[in-house]
Amino acid sequence: DLILLDWMMPGISGIDVLKILHQDRQTADIPVIMLTAKAQQKERELGLSVGARTYLVKPFSPLELMAMVQEMLG
């Protein structure tokens, strides 16, 4: 129903995962929340431009994350 995706992962970046997800019709419409320590505006724009629905910068409040998840799935 929803994907929580970190930008920085071993082996493949979250950006590359987003690109792969959006190329496949079965996964293209799954909402993605990008979780990352990358807080620069250009990085935020990149994450959103490749398909993240929203972008949450670490550290973040668990309540903030839960609110985002509920809003997307609501």
Are the C-beta atoms of 8 and 14 separated by less than 8 Å? yes
Alpha-carbon span 34 to 56, nearest angstrom: 6
The phi, psi pair for 51, rounded to 5°, reads 130, -5
Average pLDDT over residues 57-74: 94
pLDDT tens profile 2-40 = 999 999 999 999 999 999 999 999 999 999 999 999 999
pLDDT at residue number 74: 86
pLDDT at residue number 59: 94
pLDDT at residue number 29: 94
Strands 54-57 and 32-36: parallel
Q: Which residue type sits at 53?
A: R
